[in-house]
Structure 1
C-alpha cells in the first residue's frame, strides 16, 4: 500500500505546481523506553497481559507509582503515549482491593467519554469472574431511568463531562451521597483544554467539587492528563489547588514524521489543501485537514467533494455545532476506514479514537505550538511514516513563519492561562456554591478577591448574609442553569426556517457577527441565508439557498478606560494595563462573491450594541510622535490602525492565544487620554488574563511586530503584514510606513518597571484629571429632607371590582412623616391635591408599595401627577433584589423586632364603623415602621428577613447613595 513517501516524491517532482516547499524537518523515529510497576494485584496483571500490555513506558510507570502513594499527578506527554493507562491502573487496583471504592472520570467532550467507557468495559470483561468492576456514563445522552438507577446505585467508575458535574452533580450532591462518600480518585483528561474562559470557569467548578467532597469526608487524589504545554503543573494547581507531580518526559515510541512548511503562492491555502487532499485520496492515504473556522471547514469539505469524483463519499466535514449523533457517526466511519478524509476545526484535536492516520494538513498556523503539536500528533500512531504539512495563509503571522522557518521549528510550547478572578465568572460560581451549601465566611475558597465579590453580591441581593454575617445564602434555588462553562454569554439555537429542523448552536457574541439577518451560514455542506435573529428567544432561523456569495460583518467599536492597573514607560509614551469598557456595534455587512471576492453590496443592520467590561492593554503615542508622522506626510490614523493589526497578529507568537480571542481599537485622540492610543483587549467579558500576560512581554511584542512588518516586501500593506481578515472596518485606513515609524519609536527604549496602582488610578478627562477609586466609598453628603407616606382606603379591592380599579377605592386618611420637623401630618380625602403640593418640598418620598398602590389610589382623587415625585418604593426595591415580595410586617419583625398594630382589613372595618381615630393611629404606626426600616437600611446597608430554610439573613440595600425615580 502506498505511503506518505510516494506523496512526498510526487510533490518533489513538481506534480503540485504553485505550491512551494519552504522547509522540511524530519522528526526521527523514537524507540520505546520501559519500566516496571511492582505489586499489581494478580487479576489486574492478568487482564493487562490479555490486553497485550506486558511492559509499561517509563512515564506510565512513574505516574502510576506516584498515584498509588496518594500523590496527585499530571502527565504532559505527546499524543498517543498511553496516558489512559496511568489513571485506569490505580483506579482498577483500588476497586480490586476495596469494591466500595469510587472514581470520577472527567472528559471535555462526550466522544472522549464514550471512547473511555469502551476501554473500561473491555477491562471489566477480562476481570469478570474474579472482580466486579462497574462503570457508567452520566451525561446529556443518558436517559432519565438510567440516571435514577446510577444515582441510587453509583458505579465504581462514573464518566461524565464538566457541564454535567456543574449542573447535575454539585447542585444535587445529596442525591450523590453514596458516590461522594467513597470517592477516591478524580481523573481530569485533556486538562490543557481547561484554559481561557473554560478554564476560568472550571477553576471554580473544581473549588466547588472539593468543597462538597470535604462535606462527605473525602479528599480525592487528582490524576491529570495534558497535551504538551509549558506549565502543566501551574495550570493544574490554579485549577484545583492541588500541587501535582509533573511528568513531561515520555517513553512511548513514535514513527518517523516529515514536517513541511508550504507556501501556496497565488492559489491560497484552502485551494492548495484541496489539491494535496486529492493526491492523498488517490494514494489511499488516511488524512485529516485542520482549519481555523467553521465556515472554512464547510467550504473545503464542500469544494473537495465537488472535485473528488468517485472518491466524494470518502470525505466529510466535522466541527462543533453538529448534532452529537452526526459527530459520532463521522468518528466511527473514520476509525473503521469507511472515510478516508475528514476536514475539521479544533473539535478533532483531542484524543478521540479515529484510527490510524497518515497525513495531517494544517490550513494555516493553528495559532499555538501546543495546538500544532497536538494536531500533528494525530498521525503516525501505527508506527508507519507520516507527514504534517502546514500550508500558510496570507495573513501576517503565517507569512512571518514561512519567511522564518528556523524560528518556527525552534518555537517552544506556550503556557496555558486562566483567570479565576474574572469578576463575572467568579460571581456566578459563588452564587452556585451558596446554593449547594451556605458559604461560611472563613472558608478556604474565599481569598481576597472572592471576599470582595461576596460583598458585592450581598450588596446586589444575589447573596444574603446571616444576621451575624457568618454565613451567606442564595435567593435563587438553581442558579446553575444560567452559567455556561464554555462561554460567558447566551447561546443561540439555529433552526431551518421552513421546517423548524434544529441545525446547531452559536454563542452570543458570534451570533451577532455570523448569524445576523442576511448572513450566509454553512452547515454540513449546505448553504443557508439567515432570515431572522430573534434576540428574545435566542434563536436563529436560516433558509437553504444557492448563494454564490459570502458575507462579512462591519463593526464599530468604542472603548472607555475604567481602571488603570499598571503602567510602563516607552519612548513613545506609555504601555498601560487595566480594565476597559468596550462597546461593539455590528452596524452592517458586506456581500462578496465567492469567486474573486468582489464586493456586491453593503447592507445596514439594526442590532443592539454589545457592551462589556474586560481587561486590556494600550500603547499611548505622545503628540511629538503624531507630529513626526504627519511631517513625513503619512496617515496618523492609518498608522495606528496598522499598528493595532500588527500587534494583535503576532500575539500568538508570545502567548497561548488565537487572535480571535482578542479585540483591538485604534484612536487618534482618545477622549480620556487626549492623545493617540492603540488598545488590545481580551474578547471575553471580564478578561481571561491574555493581555495581562502580554503586558509583561510588551517589548517582545513590539519586536515581533517590527519583524513581521519589516520582513514583508509589500510597499503599502497586504494580508502578509497589516491586513486583518476580521477587521470590522474593511482594513481602511491603513498606512504601513506610519506603523513602522511608530514601532521604531516604541522600540527606542525598553519598557521600564511596572508601577502598580492597586487602589486607584488617575486618567485625563475633558474637565481635567480624574481619580477613579477601584473600591466602593460611601457618600458623606448631608442628610436631605425626606417624607414617609402611607394611606388607608375607604373600600376594598373586591368592592370596586378588583385591583385594576384601585383609583376608585378612595382615601380615609393619608399620613406623612416630615423629617424636617420630625412630626406626622394627616390629610383626608378632600386634601389629596394639597398632599401632592406638600410632598413637592421633599428630596425623597419613602413608602411601601407607593408606585402600584398608594399613588394609583391618590390619582383617582386629584389631577396632581404623583408619579413625578422622587420616590423610594421599598417594596419594589426588595422585590427587584429577591425576585419575590416580602410584607412590611415580616421585615419589621425580623429587622426591628416590632410588629404592625393592625392590617388593612381592620382599617376598612373601622371606616365603616366610624372609628376614625383608630385609623389615624394605625396609619401613623405603619409610617413609623416604614420610616425606621428606611433609616436602618440607609445607615446599615441591609434589612433582615427569614428565608425558606428558616434562617435569618440580610438583604442588601443601597438607599444612602441612590437617586430614586418612579
Structure 2
C-alpha cells in the first residue's frame, strides 16, 4: 500500500468532525536508518549460505552484539523493538552448533502454538543450506500420541514447545528424554515479557526445575531470552531463570515513519473504532484492531462486518478460545492478504507472521506502554508509512492519558514483576520437582527454601527419608494440579447441548466469572451459565439470545496477617504485608448491552473465596476523616472512590491490569486503628504488584489525585472513580470526598513513626445537616447526555369505586404529567394520549416516579398492552422502603428535604375530575412531578434525602439511584 493511503486516512480523520474533535494528542516518529556490524568470527559456509538464501546480506549491530555474547557462552536477554530480527540472534548460533556437532540439542519455548509453527518455518528456511540438515519438531497439545513417541525416541536437534507442555509433558518424563537433556546446549525463551505476574511466578519455578534436571543429566545449556521493550529485561530474565544475564537493549534495525494519534472515545470507543476501521478498509489499508476483551473483539468484528456489505468476508475476529485450525486459517488468510482487517485480543500482539500491515487501532489503552509499543510495532513493516490510533475508553487510566497526552508520549516501558517467593506457587512446584527427581538436602532448591520444605514435610506433601537427607513427593505426578496461569486447577466451560468444550477459566476465579446466570460470549454466540460444579471443575452453558451482560456482586473483608514494611507517605502511614482476604459473592447484575442500564440484581448463594495474598494499605488519619465529615461529605464514598481511582492508576507503576488487583476500603479497620484503603494482588500468594506500589506510593497518590481533579464530571464516572468490576456496583461513591481525603493526606505534615503512635479510638460526631434549598440541589448533578423523565398521574376513579387497590387497572386516567430533562419542560397527556406516552417513554434513559411501580404502571397497564415494567425505572418510594423497611409519604419527604409541600391530595383531584376542573388537576400533578424531580436530583447529588423520625429529629436516609453520574 502506498504512503498516500495512510496520509489519506489521516486527512480524512482531520476532516471528519466527530473524529477530529476528539484528537487528544499526536506524535510523528521519523524513519530510523539501520546500523550494521560484523560478528567476531565468520559463519561456517553452510550457515552463511542459509543467510544468503534468505536475502540477508548484513546483520544489524544489536544482532551481532547478542550473537557474540551467545557464542562466548553467556546467557543473554535481547529486548529490542518488534521486527528487529530477534529470531536470527538465536537461530544462527544454534545452527552453527548443530553443524559442528550433530548431537547438539536446543529447546525453543514459545507462549503460543502459532509462534512455534512460525518460528519452525523460519528456522527450516535458514537451515536449508546445511547438510545434513538439522532436524526440528513441534511437541505440543496438537501433536499426536504416535508422533510424541517418535520424537521422544529420536529427539530432533531443535524441539519447539510451550510452557504447558514443558511443565506437564516433558519435565515429569525427563527419563524418556535422557538423550535430549544430556545434549541440550541452548534454551531459547521467546517473548519472555509475557512471563510476568502469576504466570511469570509459575514459570520461574518451571525454569528452576528445568535447570535442575539439565544438571542431573550433565548439561549446562545457554539461555537466550527474547523480549519486547520493558524497563527491566535483565532483571526479569535473571529472576525467571535464576541465572546471570547479559542484556542487549538498543535496537539498530530500520524503522519506517509512523504516526501515533490519541483519540478520545469516552462517548463510544467502539463506535470510533468501527468508523476508523471502515475508513481504513475503504482505502485498502491492511488493518489490525486490538480490543481489551473477547466480547468487544467479537462485537466490533460483527458490527463492522454487518455494515461493510461485500467487504464482510475480508474482516474477521481472532482471539484465544478459537480452535487451533480456526486460528491457523485466520493467520494464513491475513498473511496472504485475503483478509484486509482482523479484530483481535492480545493473542496477535506477539510475533506471529501476519504480513505487512498499515494501520493499528487500539480500542482502549492496552494496560502498558510495552504492549502499546508491541502492538504498534506490528504495522509499517517493509518500510511503509504506518499509523496507530489509541482510542481512549471511559475508564480512569485511558482518560488520564487523553487529558495528559504528553505523559503518554513521555512514559518509558514498565517493569515486569514476578514473585517466585509466592508460597502457594512455590509449594506446588516443589512437589513437582520432588516427583521428577527426589530432593536432597544439598539440592539448591532445598537450601534456598528450607522453611517451605519443612512446612511441606509437616503437611505430608513431601515425605522425608529415614536419614532425613532426601525428600520425596507424596503424589506420583502432582503436575496436573498446577495451572500455570492461575493458582488452582482450571474449570472447563461446556456447551450443554453439543457437549463441546467452549472455554476454560482458572478455578480460583470460577465463582466470579462462571457462576450460574453468568453470560459467556464465544465466537459471536451468547451462552448463559446454567450450572457450576466446583468439585468436578465443570461449568455448563447453554446458548441463549440475551440483550445483557453480567457483573458479579460481592462483599469483601480483610485481615492483616503480617506487616513487612511501614513508612510515611505525605501525611499518612503506608504499610506492606500479608493479608487474608474473604470474598463472598452475593449475586450478579444484568447490565443492558445497549445503554449500560442495570436490569436487575439476581441473588446467589456461593461459597466464599478465602485466600492469602500481598497487599499495601494506607491508614487514613483521623484528622482527615473529621475534616471530610465536617464538610458534610460522604467519607465512606470518598475512600471507596479513592480505592477505585488508585487501582486504575496502578498500571502506570507496574505492568499489570486492574483485573489482577483487588481493593477494599474500610471506614474503620480494627487492626489499623483508623479508616484504611487496601490494594492487594488479586490471586493467592501475590505476584509482587503490591510491593511495587508500596515503593512508589507517593507517585500513586499524586496521579490518583490528578485524574480525579481533572475529570469534568460532577459526582464520579468511569473516567475517574467508577470501576467496571466493583462488587457493590460503585455504591457508595463520592468523588468530591475522595479529593478531600487525598488533599488532606498530601497537605498534612508527615506522621510520627508507626511504632511510637498511640492508638486513639475514633470519635464519632453526630451533627445535623444544614438546611438545603431546592436551588442547592439542582446544580447539574447529572451528566448532560443523561435524559430522564419524571412521571405522575391522577385517576378518574378511586380504589373504593373499582373494588380495591389491586384493581388499579380499572381506575382510568384524568391526566398524566411527564417532566423531560432533555427539554426541561412538562408534558401533559390525557387518557386518549397513552399510546403516544408509551412511544415517548421508551426514549428515556430512566423514568422516575413515586410509587410508580406499584401504582402508576398498574393504572397505565389497564389502558395499554405495553409492559411498563420493562422501562428503566427508579421508584423513590420503593427505594426508601428498601432502605428503611417502612414507607414515607411524598409530602413528608418534600417538606423535610426541600422545604416544599404538596398543593393538594389525590382525593381532591378525584373531586376535581367529577367537577370537570382538568386545569386544576394538571396544575396539582405538575407540582407533584416537580417535587419528585427535585427529590431525585437532591438524592443524586447528596446521596441522601431527609425525613423527620419518631423522635422528631431530622435525619438522613441514604439513597443510591443506581444511575451513572458524571461527565
Please give the TM-score of this superposition, normalised by the length of structure 1: 0.76
TM superposition shift of 1:762: 13
CA deviation profile, 1:20-64 (whole Å, cap 9, x unmatched): 211110011111111112321111111210111111000111111
Contact 1:639–1:738 (CA<8 Å) still a contact in 2? Answer: yes
Residue 819 of structure 1: aligned partner: none
Residue 781 of structure 1: aligned partner: none
Q: How far apart, in 2, do the equivalents of 1:405 and 1:578 lie?
A: 35
Contact 1:263–1:402 (CA<8 Å) still a contact in 2? Answer: yes
Residue 211 of structure 1: aligned partner: 212
Residue 77 of structure 1: aligned partner: 80
Residue 259 of structure 1: aligned partner: 260
TM superposition shift of 1:16: 4.7
Residue 36 of structure 1: aligned partner: 38
Residue 100 of structure 2: aligned partner: 97
Runs of at least 5 residues in structure 2 that lack an aligned partner in the other structure = 763-967
Q: How far apart, in 2, do the equivalents of 1:750 and 1:508 lie?
A: 46
Contact 2:660–2:681 (CA<8 Å) still a contact in 1? Answer: yes
After TM superposition, list the pairs within 5 Å mapping 1:291-306 onto structure 2: 291-306=291-306
Residue 473 of structure 1: aligned partner: 472
Residue 4 of structure 1: aligned partner: 6
CA deviation profile, 1:305-344 (whole Å, cap 9, x unmatched): 2222111112222222222222222212111112121111
Determine whether 1:422 maps to 2:422. Answer: yes
Aligned to 1:528, the other structure's residue is in SS state: strand
Contact 2:302–2:524 (CA<8 Å) still a contact in 1? Answer: yes
Residue 507 of structure 1: aligned partner: 506
Determine whether 1:488 maps to 2:490. Answer: no
Q: How far apart, in 1, do the equivalents of 2:38 and 2:759 lie?
A: 63
Residue 174 of structure 1: aligned partner: 175
TM superposition shift of 1:518: 1.6
TM superposition shift of 1:166: 1.2
Contact 1:673–1:765 (CA<8 Å) still a contact in 2? Answer: no
After TM superposition, list the pairs within 5 Å mapping 1:405-444 onto structure 2: 405-444=405-444
Aligned to 2:733, the other structure's residue is in SS state: coil
Q: How far apart, in 2, do the equivalents of 1:15 and 1:712 lie?
A: 23
TM superposition shift of 1:83: 0.2
In structure 2, the CA distance between the partners of 1:198 and 1:756, relative to structure 1 (3 Å rule), is farther
Aligned to 1:578, the other structure's residue is in SS state: strand
Residue 602 of structure 2: aligned partner: 603
Aligned to 2:399, the other structure's residue is in SS state: helix
Residue 550 of structure 1: aligned partner: 549
Contact 2:669–2:675 (CA<8 Å) still a contact in 1? Answer: yes
Q: How far apart, in 1, do the equivalents of 2:257 and 2:425 lie?
A: 44
TM superposition shift of 1:510: 3.9
Deviates more, 1:685-694 or 1:494-503: 494-503
CA deviation profile, 1:253-291 (whole Å, cap 9, x unmatched): 01110000001353x111111111111111111111111
CA deviation profile, 1:795-816 (whole Å, cap 9, x unmatched): xxxxxxxxxxxxxxxxxxxxxx
Q: How far apart, in 2, do the equivalents of 1:751 and 1:173 lie?
A: 57
TM superposition shift of 1:118: 1.1
Residue 928 of structure 1: aligned partner: none
Contact 1:671–1:765 (CA<8 Å) still a contact in 2? Answer: no
In structure 2, the CA distance between the partners of 1:509 and 1:304, relative to structure 1 (3 Å rule), is farther
Residue 400 of structure 1: aligned partner: 400
TM superposition shift of 1:198: 1.1
Aligned to 2:669, the other structure's residue is in SS state: coil
Q: How far apart, in 1, do the equivalents of 2:128 and 2:707 lie?
A: 57
Q: How far apart, in 2, do the equivalents of 1:154 and 1:727 lie?
A: 51
TM superposition shift of 1:382: 2.0
Determine whether 1:381 maps to 2:381. Answer: yes
After TM superposition, list the pairs within 5 Å mapping 1:310-709 onto structure 2: 310-448=310-448, 450-570=449-569, 572-709=571-708
Q: How far apart, in 2, do the equivalents of 1:171 and 1:756 lie?
A: 49
Q: How far apart, in 1, do the equivalents of 2:176 and 2:520 lie?
A: 43
CA deviation profile, 1:544-579 (whole Å, cap 9, x unmatched): 222122222111111111111111134554211111
After TM superposition, list the pairs within 5 Å mapping 1:48-127 onto structure 2: 48-127=51-130
CA deviation profile, 1:113-171 (whole Å, cap 9, x unmatched): 111111122233333xx333111111111111111111111111111111111112211
Aligned length: 759
Deviates more, 1:687-696 or 1:306-315: 306-315
TM superposition shift of 1:109: 1.0
In structure 2, the CA distance between the partners of 1:700 and 1:476, relative to structure 1 (3 Å rule), is same
TM superposition shift of 1:456: 0.3
After TM superposition, list the pairs within 5 Å mapping 1:872-911 onto structure 2: none
Aligned to 2:272, the other structure's residue is in SS state: helix
Residue 149 of structure 2: aligned partner: 148
Residue 288 of structure 1: aligned partner: 288
Q: How far apart, in 1, do the equivalents of 2:749 and 2:643 lie?
A: 19
Contact 1:186–1:220 (CA<8 Å) still a contact in 2? Answer: yes
After TM superposition, list the pairs within 5 Å mapping 1:150-165 onto structure 2: 150-165=151-166
Contact 2:577–2:614 (CA<8 Å) still a contact in 1? Answer: yes
Residue 863 of structure 2: aligned partner: none
Aligned to 2:147, the other structure's residue is in SS state: helix
Of the three residues 8, 13, 16, the one matched with 2:15 is 13
Aligned to 2:172, the other structure's residue is in SS state: coil
Q: How far apart, in 2, do the equivalents of 1:279 and 1:630 lie?
A: 52
In structure 2, the CA distance between the partners of 1:265 and 1:483, relative to structure 1 (3 Å rule), is closer
In structure 2, the CA distance between the partners of 1:177 and 1:278, relative to structure 1 (3 Å rule), is same
In structure 2, the CA distance between the partners of 1:408 and 1:606, relative to structure 1 (3 Å rule), is same
Q: How far apart, in 2, do the equivalents of 1:765 and 1:246 lie?
A: 53
Residue 835 of structure 1: aligned partner: none
Q: How far apart, in 1, do the equivalents of 2:638 and 2:433 lie?
A: 49
Aligned to 2:588, the other structure's residue is in SS state: strand
CA deviation profile, 1:463-503 (whole Å, cap 9, x unmatched): 11122221111121111111111211221212222121221
TM superposition shift of 1:753: 11
Contact 1:4–1:386 (CA<8 Å) still a contact in 2? Answer: yes
Contact 2:615–2:691 (CA<8 Å) still a contact in 1? Answer: yes
Contact 2:576–2:694 (CA<8 Å) still a contact in 1? Answer: yes
Residue 231 of structure 2: aligned partner: 230
Contact 2:569–2:698 (CA<8 Å) still a contact in 1? Answer: no
Question: Alignment RMSD, CA only?
Answer: 2.1
Aligned to 2:676, the other structure's residue is in SS state: strand
CA deviation profile, 1:726-748 (whole Å, cap 9, x unmatched): 11111111111111111112223
Contact 2:439–2:446 (CA<8 Å) still a contact in 1? Answer: no
TM superposition shift of 1:530: 1.9
Aligned to 1:172, the other structure's residue is in SS state: helix
In structure 2, the CA distance between the partners of 1:529 and 1:164, relative to structure 1 (3 Å rule), is same
TM superposition shift of 1:400: 1.2
Contact 2:565–2:576 (CA<8 Å) still a contact in 1? Answer: yes
TM superposition shift of 1:245: 1.3
CA deviation profile, 1:617-662 (whole Å, cap 9, x unmatched): 1111132222111111011100110110111111111221111110
CA deviation profile, 1:386-442 (whole Å, cap 9, x unmatched): 111000111111111111111110001111111000000000111111111111112
Q: How far apart, in 2, do the equivalents of 1:321 and 1:437 lie?
A: 35
In structure 2, the CA distance between the partners of 1:122 and 1:750, relative to structure 1 (3 Å rule), is farther
TM superposition shift of 1:673: 2.9
TM superposition shift of 1:18: 7.0
CA deviation profile, 1:340-371 (whole Å, cap 9, x unmatched): 21111111111111111111111111111111
Q: How far apart, in 2, do the equivalents of 1:627 and 1:754 lie?
A: 21
Aligned to 1:277, the other structure's residue is in SS state: helix
TM superposition shift of 1:674: 3.7
TM superposition shift of 1:598: 2.0
